[in-house]
C-alpha cells in the first residue's frame, strides 16, 4: 500500500455541504464495503478512484456517523484512512 500514498487523487465533483474521506483497501473488499455503506440509509456515496482507492462523501450533518462507520470498517477489513 506504500505506492498508493504517492498517487495524486482527483476527487469527484462534489457540492457544498459534503465532507469527503479517503480510504484505501484491498480491491476484493470494495464491493462488500460499498454494500455496507449503501445499506446505511443514505449515509454516504462511494467513488472508486482506482482499485481499492476510494473517496467517500457524506452530508456534513452526518460526519460523526460516517467517521464511526469508517473506523469500524477499516478495522474489520484492514483498510487505511488517508488524510485529505
Interval 19-45: pLDDT, tens: 999 999 999 999 999 999 999 998 999
CA 39 to chain centre: 14
pLDDT computed for residue 50 by the predictor: 85
Over the chain, what is the mean pLDDT?
87
CATH 3.30.70.2740 fits 17-82, yes or no: yes
In the beta sheet, which residues pair with residue 45?
57
pLDDT computed for residue 49 by the predictor: 80
pLDDT computed for residue 56 by the predictor: 95
pLDDT digits (tens, 9 = 90+) for 65-74: 999 999 999 9
Q: What is the pTM of this model?
A: 0.79
Q: CA angle 38-22-42, nearest 5°?
A: 20
Amino acid at each position: 500500500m506504500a505506492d498508493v500514498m504517492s498517487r495524486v487523487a482527483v476527487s469527484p465533483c462534489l457540492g457544498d455541504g459534503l465532507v469527503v474521506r479517503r480510504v484505501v483497501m484491498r480491491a476484493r473488499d470494495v464491493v462488500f464495503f460499498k454494500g455496507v455503506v449503501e445499506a446505511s440509509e443514505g449515509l454516504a456515496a462511494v467513488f472508486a478512484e482506482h482499485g481499492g482507492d476510494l473517496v467517500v462523501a457524506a452530508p456534513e450533518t452526518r460526519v460523526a456517523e460516517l467517521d464511526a462507520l469508517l473506523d469500524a470498517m477499516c478495522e474489520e477489513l484492514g483498510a487505511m484512512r488517508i488524510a485529505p
